[in-house]
Structure 1
Amino acid sequence: MTIESNSAGAIYTQSTGGRAGRPRLHAYLDIAIVVVVLVGTNLIAHFTTAWASIATVPIAAVVLLVLTRRRGLGWAELGLSPRHWRRGSLYALGAMGLVISVVAIGAALPLTRPFFMADRYATLSGALVASMIVIPLQTVIPEELAFRGVLHGTLDRVCSARGVFAAGSLMFGLWHIASSLGLTSGNKGLSSILGGGVIGQILGIAAAVVATAGAGMVFTWLRRRSGSLIAPIALHWALNGAGALAAAIVWHTTIA
């Protein structure tokens, strides 16, 4: 039997034969369960009722947290240890400042302004509700808890750092397929480049998967670098929430 330590500092045992392989087998089982729950959650959230789309992801994130805690994942493995809050907060401030600056510049430049003209954020009041309530509670916090918390923690017990980055980011990219089905039809900037119809929709979905997988890599880096979910949550909100506010401002100033 050997004793190993993962990136979060949690120590666990890995046996070398017979019954001794059970801890590692259990870790793979945990990963499989998390993936199945995430796939089911995504399908329910996007292809059933409106109420399901609101509540399913937050509920699933809490269920996964409770389940993996019972399976032995520690708070540090989940990115929720208080001893990493200060470091996570410092990374969070830096990430948010950088993204908000880039978003502000993009919304101000004539070349990139059309990309902010998403129909769902055409009103300032709607964008405020979305950025301050809907996006944090329905999207950012549950997704980070599920992906950079639970999935990251389970992967980290059996995978190398590269494996955690690759598998977690790929899953995060695929997670956004369903939410990207109407991406080009609701964004004037994207539709002007990718076109409409089925081809434009496919290209939009592919672009969304690649972009969100790339974002997942950055979120994972922040999670591992800071040891806390605070940093990826902050960056995730800055990308979505600040983007929503910028879209509303662009719509308002364009119409005015």
Structure 2
Amino acid sequence: MSQSAADPVRTAAPLPRRRYALVGTAVVVMALALLNVADHLIPHGSLWLGPVGAVALLSFARASGLSWAQLGLARDRARSGLLWAAGAILTVGLIYLAGVLLPMTRTAFLDVRYHLPVPGALLTAFVIIPVGTIVLEEVAFRSVLWGMLARHARMWVVVLVSSLLFGLWHVLPSLHLAASNSGVGDAARGLGAAAGVAVIVGTVLFTAAGGAVAGELRRRSGSVLASVGMHWATNALGVLFGLLAWQLA
């Protein structure tokens, strides 16, 4: 993968600095593991844990010497990020519309967690998902972890590692996915005892692939705003198009 002009060019760091960067990366990974567990142990904790965790991670990154540009939050890349975000939202929206209208793929949108009245769906799409999910995950994986990795790794390694960890981040949410989502449940029903493992592995691979696409948007635009747009579209538009899917079902 070629280096984008939007991202600062990585140069070989002296050994002490490289060790310092590796330690910083390890601290971020351990913090993400703790946040992931806490998010699933604390009832309704994501709405405050997400923003607090994001601020803590950004504070650590800045104290470690990362610039706003290295974190994908530079002002001069905001316009580029917004343009890429708009393109991602439009693309996801068209794909979801086709998915809802086709009977064979409609069941993927029938998630009981989001079988909501219109006000509840709007609240989920425009408040709960952005605040409780996207803020923390984008700051964690496409900003802080990305910036930490880029200090001592090539860009393809940054995209690969951040994407794989993003996939593993979704192991705990996948434990009950088959029960809540009709499409996933139907696909897993014929697998017998292996169904649980298949859902977990499938979720990790699917979200890791999504993380790679989000990472490429971040790389090309030089801004986390691009991956934020894609992330919001993937999650929130799923809820909104789910309204239509439930009506058609």
Scaled by the length of structure 2, the TM-score of the pair is 0.92
Closer, same or farther in 2 for the Cα pair 1:57/1:118, shift >3 Å? same
CA distance in 2, matches of 1:7, 1:250: 39
Counterpart selection for 1:229 from 224, 230, 233:
224
Preserved CA contact (<8 Å) 1:191 1:200: no
Amino acid at match of 1:114: T
Q: Which residue of 2 aligns with 1:68?
A: 61
CA deviations over 1:207-227 (Å, ceiling 9, x no partner): 110000000100110111000
Determine the C-alpha separation between the residues in 1 that align with 2:95 and 2:84: 17
Tell me, yes or no, if the aligned pair for 1:13 and 1:23 is still in contact at 8 Å: no
Report how far residue 253 of structure 1 moved. Answer: 3.3
Structure 1 residues 168 and 11, CA gap change in structure 2 (3 angstroms): closer
- Separation of aligned partners in 2, 1:234 and 1:157: 25
Q: In 2, distance between residues paired with 1:7 and 1:198?
A: 47
Within the alignment, does 1:9 sit opposite 2:13 as a pair? no
Identity in percent: 37
Structure 2 partner of 1:218:
213
1:208 equivalent in alignment to 2:207 = no
Shift of 1:134: 0.5
Give the alignment of 1:3-152 within 5 angstroms. Answer: 8-9=7-8, 14-15=13-14, 21-46=15-40, 48-123=41-116, 124-152=118-146
- CA distance, structure 1, for counterparts of residue 44 and residue 111 of structure 2: 23
Q: How many Å apart are 1:198 and its aligned residue? A: 5.2
Matched AA of 2:211: G
For each residue in 1:97-149, what CA deviation from the matched residue of structure 2 results, as whole angstroms up to 9, or x when unmatched? Answer: 11101001101111111111000111233221111100111111221111100
RMSD: 1.8
Please, which of 132, 150, 159 is the counterpart of residue 156 of structure 1?
Answer: 150
Instruction: Quote the offset at 1:13 in angstroms.
Output: 7.1
- CA shift in 2, pair 1:12/1:193, >3 Å: closer
Q: Residue 103 of structure 2: SS of its match in structure 1?
A: coil
Does structure 2 conserve the Cα–Cα contact (< 8 Å) formed by 1:10 and 1:77?
Answer: no
Distance in 1 between residues matched to 2:208 and 2:162, nearest whole Å: 8
- Say which is worse superposed, 55-64 or 31-40, in terms of deviation: 55-64
Counterpart contact for 1:122–1:252, Cα < 8 Å = no
Aligned-partner Cα distance in 2 for 1:193–1:11: 43
Unmatched tracts of structure 1, length 5 or more: 1-5, 16-20
* TM, length-normalised to structure 1: 0.90
Amino acid at match of 1:221: E
Is contact 2:10-2:151 (8 Å) kept? Answer: no
Q: Is the 1:57–1:139 Cα contact (8 Å) retained in structure 2?
A: yes
Alignment-mate amino acid for residue 185 of structure 1: A
Q: Aligned-pair distance for 1:182? A: 0.5
Amino acid at match of 1:120: R
Which structure 2 segments of 5+ residues have no match?
Answer: none
